[in-house]
Amino acid sequence: MNYYSKEANLKYCSASQLKDFLKCEAMAVAKMNETWSEERSRALELGSFFDALLVGDEKWLEENKSVYAKKKGEMYADCAKAWDTMQRVKAQPLMMHYLDGEHQRMMVGEIEGLPFKIKMDSYKEGEFIADLKYMASLRAPNLFENLVKYWRYDIQATIYREIVRQNTGKDLPFYFVIATKETPAHLEVAEIDAYTMDECLEEIKRYIPRIKAIKEGTIAPERCEEYNCAYCTQTRILDKPISYEKLGMRRKDDVTSETD
């Protein structure tokens, strides 16, 4: 299976696709159908570079030189920082223990009748699942919210654990192996507990019927109309003036159509 193909995204849901649906159903469907795509952020590029350095993926490094090297061959400053941080990670036995599993192991399964696919950063059969995160900070943008909950990494962990359980019969512990882009970089290994994942699985199951119906085409996706939604912002058609008091607020009641 080509994990990132349109066919795979139409047939299977994933942790990232599910999170897209929770943000904006219309955006999720447009991405799934490849009628719209987000610009690949520098953060994602750095994450891929960091992962390639970790596993020694020479093919990726050769094919993506523009990500990390200037025309004269000098490394970009943010990539040089990533390289230095990776050397620190490799000097941490605990981090390397959890990154020493099978890299990019794929599995498929089903939750509440909806097919799911997963691709794990590090999978050690019968022992653990681990995911590498190269992120800006250990602090969530909302200082009063837990980092994992803010970014909904609990959804990723829960889906991975459930699909592995379906394939192997074992509930494995899940670990986040984290390095930050700060100076100096913070390094951590964090375990997400089974109780949290059990609760999250019940939450996910509540979302599934609607997502399944949208993917099957039996109900139409809704637009979120939030200002931070690039899809709704890009496809919105103005049909009337609004009160100045609504500027910067949720726009759903003011939208009637989209461009595609």
Residue at 116 is within a domain? yes
Do 101 and 190 belong together in one domain?
Answer: yes
Same domain, yes or no: 231 and 142: no
Query: Is residue 66 included in any domain, yes or no?
Result: no
Instruction: Write down the H helix ranges in 108-242.
Output: 147-150, 153-168, 194-216, 230-235
Are 239 and 166 in the same domain?
Answer: no
CATH no. for residue 159?
A: 3.90.320.10
Q: What is the pLDDT of residue 33?
A: 96
Q: 96 and 197: one domain?
A: yes
Q: Do 178 and 104 reside in the same domain of the chain?
A: yes
Beta pairing partners, 118: 107
211 vs 185: CA distance, rounded Å:
38
Angle at 206 between CA 10 and CA 249, to 5 degrees: 85
Distance CA 221, CA 26 (A): 5
Residues 121, 202, single domain; the answer is: yes
Inside any domain, residue 131 = yes
- Could you tell me if residue 145 is inside a domain? yes
Instruction: Supply the pLDDT for residue 118.
Output: 98
What is residue 220's predicted lDDT score, i.e. its pLDDT?
Answer: 97
Distance of alpha carbon 114 from its chain centroid, rounded? 19
Domain presence at residue 65 = no
User: Which single residue is written with the structure tokens 């061959």?
Assistant: 73
Q: Do residues 251 and 164 both lie within one domain?
A: no
- Taking a C-beta distance cutoff of 8 angstroms, is the pair 99, 123 a contact? no
Same-domain check for residues 243 and 182: no
Domain that holds residue 255: 223-260
Number of domains in the chain: 2
One domain, residues 187 and 111: yes
Position 250 scores a pLDDT of 62
Is the residue at 233 inside a domain? yes
| pLDDT given at position 254 | 47
Q: Tell me how far apart the alpha carbons of residues 6 and 223 are, in angstroms, rounded to a whole number.
A: 21
Q: Is residue 75 part of a domain?
A: no
**196 shares a domain with 111:** yes
Q: Would you state the pLDDT for residue 251?
A: 59
The answer to whether the pTM exceeds 0.75 is yes
Same domain, residue pair 246 and 191: no
Q: What is the model's pLDDT at position 258? A: 38
Query: Is 80 part of a structural domain of the chain?
Result: no
What does each C-alpha distance from 76 to 57, 80, 86, 94, 165 come to in angstroms?
19, 6, 15, 29, 41
pLDDT 10s digit of each residue in the chain, 260 long? 899 999 999 999 999 999 999 999 999 999 999 999 988 889 889 999 999 998 888 999 999 999 999 988 899 999 999 999 999 999 999 999 999 999 999 999 999 999 999 999 999 999 999 999 999 999 888 777 888 999 999 999 999 999 999 999 999 999 999 999 999 999 999 999 999 999 999 999 999 999 999 999 999 999 998 888 999 999 998 888 988 888 877 655 444 333 33
> Are 164 and 258 found together in one domain?
no
The pLDDT, as a whole number, for residue 205 is: 98
